A and B are shown apart, each in its own frame.
Chain A
Amino acid sequence: MIQIKNLNKIFHTNNQNQFHALKDITFNVAKNEFVLLSGVSGSGKSTLLAIIASLLKPTSGEIIVNHKQIAKLPDLHASAYRNHDIGFIFQSFNLFDTLSVEENVAIPLIPTGLKQKEIDKKVTKALKLANITHKATTIAKNLSGGEKQRCAIARALVNDPQIILCDEPTANLDKENALKFIEVIKTLKQKGFTILIATHDSIFENLHEVDRIIHINDGKIL
């Protein structure tokens, strides 16, 4: 599903502040695999996730997702890839605070050209999957941390992506909400999603559903 070969990311190239964030990373992720990218803050796991989501371009190396080279995709293709293949759950949720839950969840569908009716149908399905239907009309800024997280999950799922990427998903949650998140992730695993979570939270490490843990330190796989 995901093949990463000799991936390097250098920030501020040819500059005094040059920083080698990822060094020669190579690994594969199979379909429906649940992979943890584990490491301390600044180890490079979030950068790796951003590159897989095509939010960042690697300095060198290859990423092949579903037989598509995504390392050097032009903007139009990269955004289509993000929109169709990837569901990204951010550490800080990145919701539109003034919009309601259902409005936030619908945003990724707007450029797809779907009719409003179809959008509403998909939104309802995603809200149900993320267990946030009861808050559909609540404005995002009035949600608790856990609810915001579930809203972000629904938004990530709304386009029926095959891959779910989560960047420090429990960093802004209390233990109770972190456990609820894990329950949702377990359901997603059962439903056949491929899941990559970048985290330094030990709560994930003993999960039965986790297929593999990749430890990253100083930009390298250990």
Chain B
Amino acid sequence: MQNSFFNFLFLLLYKHHSKHIAVFIVSTLLVGLLASFMFLSSSIKHDALISLKEQPDFTIQKIRGGRSVDIPISLVDKFSDIKGVSYVAPRVFGRYYLPDRKHYFTIVGVDFFDEQLVTWINKLTKNIDIKTFLSKNQMIIGNGVKNYLKNHYYDSYFNFLTPTGKEKKVYIFDTLQKDTNLIANDIVLVDINLAREILGIQEDKATDIILNIPNPSERTNIKQKLLLINYDTRIITKDMLEKEYENLFNYKGGIFLLLFTITLITFMLILFQRYSMINNSDKKEIAILRAIGWSIKDVIKLKILETLSIAILAFLLGIVLAYLFVFYANAPLFRDIFIGFGNLQNSTTFTPVIDFGMLSSMFLFFIIPFIASVLIPVWKISITDANEALK
């Protein structure tokens, strides 16, 4: 296509910018809104799936009456005897509800001999001295816990109330790094025995038992063996967790996509109506072009390129704004929809993750109806007698 055509196209866009500005702004906002949710969803999913990699292959819970209850530690040895199992460890954790009964801390007991857990803690902190940390009544806390304590209690310790009514004063040893906020915002890491005391878990019991099975093809067999030995247990596999995460984010993303589709259709209908009731100056513009020798094809080409330029510019600007909004401004308002309003305030930052496949689909879903909603009315005008339109 020759340069003069583009020169004329950009000239018209520039001279008639006031005519297109409303459509451009609404389009940019729509794209920005959808892209923000997509970026958020991809980023959280990415971080969640990475944290999932640290999870054990199997998590075993004891079930009674359909509820999860504490599991005897004696089972650890039994599980260790199963061939193919490489690592078995009991875990002690639970929720500690604060007096307002709305907020809670997630207490996680740390066993000095639990290598996997110690490695994980070292990743979340800046390689602290675990031995010193565990030697006293001390805790490593997430940033949500830190802020909550600072605002409502003391900033150096907290008095936990045990189920027996005893107060347990625990000092803050360290705070987890900010980039762990997504997964560890409300976490309180304490010595495993202290965790038992705070949560009221007996010495011979644990919340659950975790184990690893290095050979993936063995997992189904070992799961069946475990269920045979312990009929009253529930085994949560890493795959199940992964699917649950996927479903959760896809569900939230899906609801948003539905809302976006409804908004987009409404916008396209408005656009269609705007061009159907095309004003006299637009009509005359097309008629003049036809009268001085432009063919219907030329007029439609001009209008397609005009619409395409607006749509592409709005799309790119929307994407850039969404990127800045999510990854620089940390998506105020929107992030609560994805990471929940429920517990302690979360000031997490999002890892920049861009799903190009999703962006391409979004581009097509946006551009095609956009062009169609403008083009059909323009085509209708183009095929009418130029002489009639000039009157």
Contacts and interface: CB of A to CB of B under 8 A. Distances in A.
Contacts of B288: 94-96, 107
Contacts of A115: 2-4
A20 interface: no
Contact of A79 (B3, B11, B295): B295
Interface in A116-154: 116, 119
B99 to A, nearest CB: 69
Interface residues of B, number: 28
Given A50-B387, A76-B297, A90 B291 contact: yes
Closest 3 CB pairs of A and B: A83-B293, A79-B295, A55-B387
B329 interface: no
A139 B285 CA distance: 16
Interface in B223-237: none
Contact of B293 (A84, A95, A114): A84
Contacts of B390: 55, 90, 92, 94
Interface in B1-19: 2-5, 7-8, 11, 15-16
B289 interface: yes
A114 B2 contact: yes
Contacts of B296: 75-76, 79
A98 to B, nearest CB: 4
Interface band, chain A: 35 or more
B364 interface: no
Contacts of B146: none
Contacts of B2: 113-115
A103 interface: yes
Contacts of A50: 387
A56 interface: yes
Interface string A32-47: 0000000000000000
Contacts of B97: none
B15 A99 contact: yes
Contacts of A56: 385, 387
A80 B387 contact: no
A7 B171 CA distance: 103
20 contacts: A55-B386, A55-B390, A56-B387, A75-B297, A76-B295, A79-B296, A82-B291, A83-B293, A83-B294, A94-B287, A103-B11, A106-B8, A107-B288, A107-B292, A110-B4, A110-B5, A110-B8, A114-B4, A115-B2, A116-B4
B284 interface: yes
Contacts of B387: 50, 55-56
Contacts of A92: 390
Contact of B292 (A76, A83, A114): A83
Contacts of A94: 284, 287-288, 291, 390
